[in-house]
C-alpha cells in the first residue's frame, strides 16, 4: 500500500521538474495514453514544458481523444529534458525502440517511474511509485493530485477518465473499487467529457473490423477445459483480407470473454518478436498472471500477456495446456 505521504512526494518531484519527457509502453492502450496526456496537460498547466513520446501510431479509436505527441527524438533533443517520466510501463522490455529509449540511460537521469503493475521492474534510481492496488495508472495520477490537494485542471479530466474506463473495462472489472468510483466522480466534476470518451472507445469500430471479427469468431474460435477456456489464433492472412491492423486489437479479446461459461479468454497472433499471447480471466480463482509469468511475460492477475518464441501451433499447445492445468 502506498501512503498518502508517498503520493505527496510524487506530486512534489513532478512539480519540481521543468522540461519533462513522458513515455509509456509500446502499443499504448487507453490507460497508457490517458496517463501520458493527463500528466502532460497537468505539467503544462503549471507552466512546465511536457512532451509525450510515442514511437509509432496510436490505435484508431484513440485518435479522436489524443493528439500532439512526438514519435522520433534525437540524442540532442533527449538531452534537453531535465526529467523523464514513464507511466503505465511495467518493464524495460515493453519500452520498445531501445535505440531511442534505453533504461540504462534513463537510470542515469532524473527519471520517475509511475505505474500500477505489481511486478514493475523499471526501477528508477531517483523515484518510483508503483501502486499494484490501483486499477489504472490514470487513477494513480488522480490519487497523487488529490493527496497534494491539487485541483485537477479541466483539460486533464477527459484523458484521465479515458484511462480509468479502459483499465476497468468501463467499471466492470473487479479492480473497480469504491475509491475508483469516487476518483471517476472527481473527474466528472472537473469536466470530463463522458459522451466523447464513450463514443470514441465503444461506438467507433470501423466496418472492416466488424467484418473481420465476424469471420474470426465463425471460423477460428476454439475451446478447451469443457468450454471454460476460449481461444483463437488470428491468422495473418485473415487480418490482411479485411485490412485489419492487429495493433488495433484492444477489446477484441472481449468477444471471447463475453461468452457464457468462459472463464479464461486468450488470443494469439504473430507479433514482431514472436507469437503474442493475450489472456483475460473472469474469475480470480483462475488467474492468468502466473501463466503469463511462466512464459516470461507479465501483467495483472486477470489480464496478462507474453511473447512466445516458437510457432503459433507450438504456442497454442503449450499455453492452452498450461491454462487447462488451472482447472484440474
**Binds ligand 5GP by CB under 6 A, chosen from 22, 143, 297, 315:** 297
Residue 91, phi then psi, degrees to nearest 5: -150, 160
| Residue span 96-135 as binding mask against Mn ion, x where in contact by CB under 5 A, dash where not | ----------------------------------------
Residue 168, interface with ligand 5GP (CB under 6 A)?
A: no
Q: Which is nearer to Mn ion, 88 or 250 (CB)?
A: 88
Residue 121, interface with ligand 5GP (CB under 6 A)?
A: no
The site that binds Mn ion (CB under 5 A) totals a number of residues, namely 4
Q: Where are the alpha helices (DSSP H) in the chain?
A: 4-15, 30-45, 75-78, 103-106, 137-147, 154-167, 178-189, 194-202, 207-219, 236-241, 254-257, 289-294, 312-325
CB 258 within 8 A of CB 238: no
Binding partner of residue 167 among Mn ion, ligand 5GP, none, CB cut-off 5 to 8 Å per kind: Mn ion
**Binds ligand 5GP by CB under 6 A, chosen from 137, 234, 304, 326:** 304
Binding partner of residue 278 among ligand 5GP, Mn ion, none, CB cut-off 5 to 8 Å per kind: ligand 5GP
The CA–CA distances, whole Å, from 235 to 80, 256, 318 equal 44, 16, 18
Nearest Cα to Cα of residue 190 among 143, 165, 156: 156
Residue 278, phi then psi, degrees to nearest 5: -125, 125
Residue 88, interface with Mn ion (CB under 5 A)?
A: yes
3-class DSSP string for 208-265: HHHHHHHHHHHHCCEEECCCCEEEEEECHHHHHHCCCCHHHCCCCCHHHHCCCCCCEE
Which range touches ligand 5GP (CB under 6 A), out of 191-199, 234-242, 305-313, 319-327?
A: 305-313
Minimum Å gap between C-beta 89 and ligand 5GP is 8
Binding partner of residue 316 among Mn ion, ligand 5GP, none, CB cut-off 5 to 8 Å per kind: none
Minimum Å gap between C-beta 201 and ligand 5GP is 14
118 DSSP assignment = T
Binding site for ligand 5GP (CB under 6 A): 90-91, 117, 278, 297-300, 303-307
Amino acid at each position: 500500500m502506498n501512503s498518502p505521504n508517498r503520493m505527496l512526494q510524487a506530486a512534489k518531484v513532478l512539480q519540481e521538474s521543468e522540461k519533462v519527457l513522458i513515455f509509456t509502453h509500446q502499443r499504448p492502450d487507453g490507460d497508457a495514453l490517458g496517463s501520458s496526456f493527463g500528466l502532460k496537460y497537468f505539467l503544462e498547466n503549471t507552466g512546465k514544458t511536457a512532451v509525450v513520446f510515442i514511437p509509432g501510431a496510436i490505435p484508431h479509436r484513440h485518435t479522436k481523444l489524443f493528439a500532439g505527441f512526438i514519435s522520433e527524438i534525437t540524442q540532442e533533443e533527449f538531452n534537453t529534458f531535465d526529467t523523464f517520466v514513464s507511466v503505465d510501463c511495467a518493464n524495460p522490455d515493453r519500452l520498445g525502440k531501445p535505440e531511442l529509449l534505453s533504461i540504462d540511460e534513463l537510470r542515469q537521469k532524473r527519471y520517475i517511474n509511475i505505474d500500477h503493475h505489481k511486478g514493475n521492474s523499471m526501477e528508477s534510481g531517483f523515484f518510483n511509485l508503483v501502486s499494484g492496488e490501483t486499477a489504472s495508472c490514470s487513477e494513480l495520477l488522480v490519487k497523487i493530485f488529490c493527496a497534494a490537494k491539487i485541483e485537477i485542471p479541466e483539460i486533464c479530466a477527459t484523458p484521465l477518465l479515458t484511462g480509468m474506463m479502459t483499465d476497468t473495462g468501463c467499471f466492470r472489472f473487479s479492480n473497480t473499487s469504491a475509491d475508483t468510483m469516487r476518483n471517476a466522480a472527481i473527474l466528472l466534476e472537473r469536466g470530463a467529457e463522458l459522451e466523447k470518451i464513450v463514443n470514441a472507445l465503444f461506438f467507433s469500430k470501423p466496418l472492416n473490423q466488424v467484418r473481420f471479427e465476424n469471420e474470426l469468431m465463425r471460423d477460428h474460435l476454439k475451446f478447451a477445459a469443457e468450454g471454460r477456456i476460449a481461444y483463437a489464433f488470428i491468422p495473418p492472412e485473415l487480418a490482411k483480407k479485411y485490412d485489419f491492423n492487429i495493433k488495433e486489437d484492444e477489446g477484441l479479446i472481449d468477444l471471447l470473454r463475453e461468452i457464457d461459461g468462459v472463464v479464461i479468454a486468450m488470443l494469439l497472433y504473430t507479433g514482431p518478436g514472436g507469437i503474442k499471447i493475450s489472456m483475460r480471466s473472469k474469475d480470480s480463482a483462475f488467474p492468468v498472471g502466473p501463466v503469463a509469468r511462466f512464459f516470461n511475460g507479465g501483467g495483472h492477475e486477470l489480464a496478462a500477456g507474453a511473447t512466445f518464441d516458437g510457432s503459433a501451433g507450438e504456442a497454442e499447445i503449450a499455453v492452452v495446456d498450461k491454462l487447462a492445468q488451472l482447472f484440474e
